[in-house]
A and B are shown apart, each in its own frame.
Chain A
């Protein structure tokens, strides 16, 4: 699976959009970009995934660059409850295991 690089931490004001970047320059053509988050002490939660098109669901939007070497997870109106560690994971759609990196710690403040 391709390696990802994420900033260690980010801050965001409540109500503003949180834009979390991820670099995955060695991504293969059949690998998807997945995003998970882990709120303190809880199990990780799946957020969204995509292959090459931008994706949106009720939680977030995922923007993937045309060359697929980087992506951005967007939380359009961050709340205090979005404070968590966000993990960007690149893997094939049929992969049987997840490999977590260190993620980005997002702190949403008043």
Chain B
């Protein structure tokens, strides 16, 4: 049981490049979400999903796209990277309606130059 797996762990992008941050969970969790954490700051919600085929925007969705084609995977796409997107990105999941805590991945550290 691997929990929530995020790849890559580190990434450097040039301004304007695009990339996809991967998130996979093997716990059959319906709810998944993406957060970003800037240095010295709290976590802010980017996008979230309550099940396959259903996604919604969080607090800071601009510049990011998501899709949820399977229960297990919830990739985050950066369309055209900007230095302001330099951050640590965390993916999280939990079981719906079971009143349990979220499980977080170990994060992806992204630098946009």
Contacts and interface: CB of A to CB of B under 8 A. Distances in A.
A46 B102 contact: yes
Interface residues of B, number: 27
B11 to A, nearest CB: 16
Interface string B1-43: 0001000000000000000000000000001010100000011
B48 A96 contact: yes
B90 interface: yes
Contact of A97 (B4, B58, B103, B105): B58
A46 B99 contact: no
B52 interface: no
Nearest to A85: B42
A44 B4 CA distance: 12
Contacts, number: 60
Given A98-B33, A98-B45, A100-B42, A93 B90 contact: no
Contacts of A43: 4, 90, 92, 104-107
Could you tell me the dominant secondary structure of chain A's interface residues? loop
Interface residues of A, number: 23
B35 to A, nearest CB: 8
Interface in B30-88: 31, 33, 35, 42-45, 48, 50, 58-59, 88
Interface stretch (A10-18, A20-28, A34-42, A67-75): A34-42
Contacts of B35: 100
B44 to A, nearest CB: 8
A98 B37 CA distance: 14
A42 B96 contact: no
Given A46-B102, A94-B97, 13 more contacts: A34-B101, A36-B102, A38-B43, A41-B88, A43-B90, A45-B104, A46-B100, A46-B101, A96-B50, A97-B48, A98-B43, A98-B45, A98-B92
Interface of A: 32, 34, 36, 38, 41-47, 49, 87, 93-94, 96-103
